[in-house]
Amino acid sequence: MNYLLSALPAALIGYAFGSIPFGLLLTRMAGLGDVRSIGSGNIGATNVLRTGNKGLAAATLLLDLAKGFLAVFLSWRYFPDAAGIAAVAVILGHCFPLWLKFKGGKGVATLAGVCFGVAWPVGLAYAAVWIGLLALLRISSLAGMTAAVVAPVAAWIVGYPQFAPYLAVIAALILWLHRANIARLRAGTEPKVGSK
């Protein structure tokens, strides 16, 4: 019962933060219309970049990262037994926001924030893989998916094994959300960042 009393507010905090569609809000405020009408149709930073506005894309990335961090940080502080629940909930909120008929982003930037909320070494491992592969290969989806798979392993190695199952669930969700990207990667047709 005590765990349920912690898990419920942690889940609500996570989902509430996660469901704020920063990519959509920023592009609308900038007069660029609905970001869901271009590219992949989702609200994440990679799709915002397709508007041609690098500043908005960077802001979206940072804000999506921040909401992942804050959800875990606040739950870790006030409901420490349920911080893993908050981690999953913030990703679910980002990917399936109630306000957008459950059609959101793919969770890569938000998971970066979650990892830093768990512990800075986990976040650093995630960021190193994500940014390193992105710089090397310029394929956003591959970099994000690989970093997501590394996250639970990193949590286990650096001393936060209690988060590994939650991060593994998130990684599985992110892989599933990228199933179309995986098909394009196999076909050799996945676009690179900066390509037309």
Q: What is the pLDDT of residues 50-100, one digit of tens each?
A: 888 889 989 999 999 999 999 999 998 999 899 999 999 999 999 999 989
The whole-number pLDDT of residue 66 equals: 97
In Å, how far are 83, 140, 160, 177 from 151, measured between CA atoms?
A: 16, 17, 11, 17
How many angstroms separate the CA atoms of 89 and 177, rounded? 16
Q: pLDDT at residue 182 above 90? A: yes
Cα–Cα nearest to 88, from 63, 62, 126, 117: 117
**pLDDT more than 90, % of the chain:** 72
The whole-number pLDDT of residue 60 equals: 93
Q: Who wins on pLDDT, 98 or 5?
A: 98
Reported as a pLDDT band with limits 50, 70 and 90, residue 193 is confident
Domain ranges of the chain: 2-19+69-187
Reported as a pLDDT band with limits 50, 70 and 90, residue 1 is low
Cα–Cα nearest to 125, from 136, 140, 114, 115: 115
Reported as a pLDDT band with limits 50, 70 and 90, residue 31 is confident
Cα–Cα nearest to 18, from 81, 77, 64, 79: 64
Cα–Cα nearest to 107, from 12, 17, 35, 13: 17
Cα–Cα nearest to 72, from 112, 32, 101: 112
Give the HSE-up count for residue 48: Cα atoms under 13 Å, Cβ half-sphere: 30
How confident is the model over 136-158, as a mean pLDDT?
A: 96
**Tens of pLDDT, residues 162-179:** 999 999 999 999 999 999
Instruction: Write down the pTM of the prediction.
Output: 0.92
The whole-number pLDDT of residue 194 equals: 67
Structure tokens, 40: 């992949």
